[in-house]
Amino acid sequence: MILRGIFRNNLPAGIALILLTGFLAMALGTEIYAFWCESTGRIPAYAVGNVAERFLPPSTEHWFGTDYMGRDVLLRAVAGSATAVKVGVIATLIAVLLGTILGLAAGFFGGWIDDLTVWLYSTVAAMPALLFILAFALLVGRNFMNSEVAGVVKTVSSLLRSEPGMLAVYLAIGLTCWVTLCRVVRAETMKLKNQPYVLAARVAGQCSPVILFRHILPNVMHLVIIYFTLTFASAIMSEVIVSYLGMGVQSAPSWGVMIADGQDRMWLGVWWEVAAATTFMFLLVLALNVLGDYLRDTIDPRNRA
């Protein structure tokens, strides 16, 4: 019913939802398949290469050709969706939790909590986000840590089935992308806390946490949902850039690594590896942005007639 309504009201948003569902299915399938290969001692199909078939152009056998190791480029692009989606989900969840909690607390309580939050997001906003992500990835990925911290990073990485460098990317993106949401939620909370239903809850003796999470949070959730889709796309592009620069994923398939590997051979006419990675990234980011615009127009109360 919901899907039918989306297609009836906004065809591009419906197509974007189908694309996003397809990428999520590819990511989940890749994770399950990789876990199965790891448990059975098999080499994943996207990692199997044949030097005799390196640099083959697109054909019916290899739709996007093969790379410098003779690996199927289409399989690696599909497997790269797992890295992109994992980064998008984990990093965006970190950013959304930080931005929502701090924004609610600052807008509702005010005083020193508000002053501290404003100072914090002003400081974070002043830092170049990409340089912070690269520095954080270099710190963790190159193991410039003491043994205790390195042990914690290794444990968390194994639980998330990621490399330490990728764990740093998750954290760095999440710690730099919460500022905008925090500002918006803080401003909205300042308005909502003076609404009659909130004042009535205060008179009824409800405690502050109950008022925040029962009366105010549901009224800012439309902002959180919209921000989630837009930050998801931004996190994916950040991961591609970091991996392209060699600071992110090392062994797992990644669109950034594919672009870095293929760029040096484009002048030889080997264009398909870069084309596959950029096409997949373009489709996923476009779907997220179109869906984010649709959600903004649909669930934002200010856009309702």
Q: The domain spanning residue 18 has which CATH number?
A: 1.10.3720.10
Give residue 139's pLDDT.
Answer: 74
> Residue 192 and residue 194: Cα distance in Å, rounded?
5
Picking from 170, 189, 169, the residue whose alpha carbon sits closest to that of residue 117 is 189
**Domain interval for residue 278:** 2-303
**Which amino acid is it at 52?**
A
Beta bridge partners of 72: 66
Query: Taking the model in full, what pTM does it have?
Result: 0.84
DSSP bridge pairs for 66: 72
Going by C-alpha positions, the residue among 172, 193, 165, 171 that lies closest to residue 109 is 193
Phi, psi of 66 (to 5 degrees): -125, 160
User: Which residues, other chains included, contact 258 with Cβ-Cβ below 8 Å and sequence gap of 6+?
Assistant: 67, 73, 76, 77, 80, 273, 274, 276, 277
Give the pLDDT score at 281: 92
**pLDDT on residue 2:** 47
Q: Per residue of the chain (305 residues), give pLDDT as tens.
A: 445 556 567 778 888 888 999 999 999 999 899 889 888 888 888 888 888 888 888 888 888 888 888 888 899 999 999 888 988 888 899 999 999 999 999 998 888 999 999 999 898 888 887 788 877 777 776 666 666 666 776 777 667 677 766 777 888 888 888 898 999 999 999 988 888 888 888 888 788 888 888 888 888 888 888 888 888 888 888 888 888 887 777 777 888 888 888 887 887 788 888 899 999 999 999 998 888 888 877 776 555 54
- The end-to-end CA distance of the chain, in Å, is 22
pLDDT at 209: 85
Cβ-contact 78, 64 below 8 angstroms: no
Count of structural domains, the chain: 1
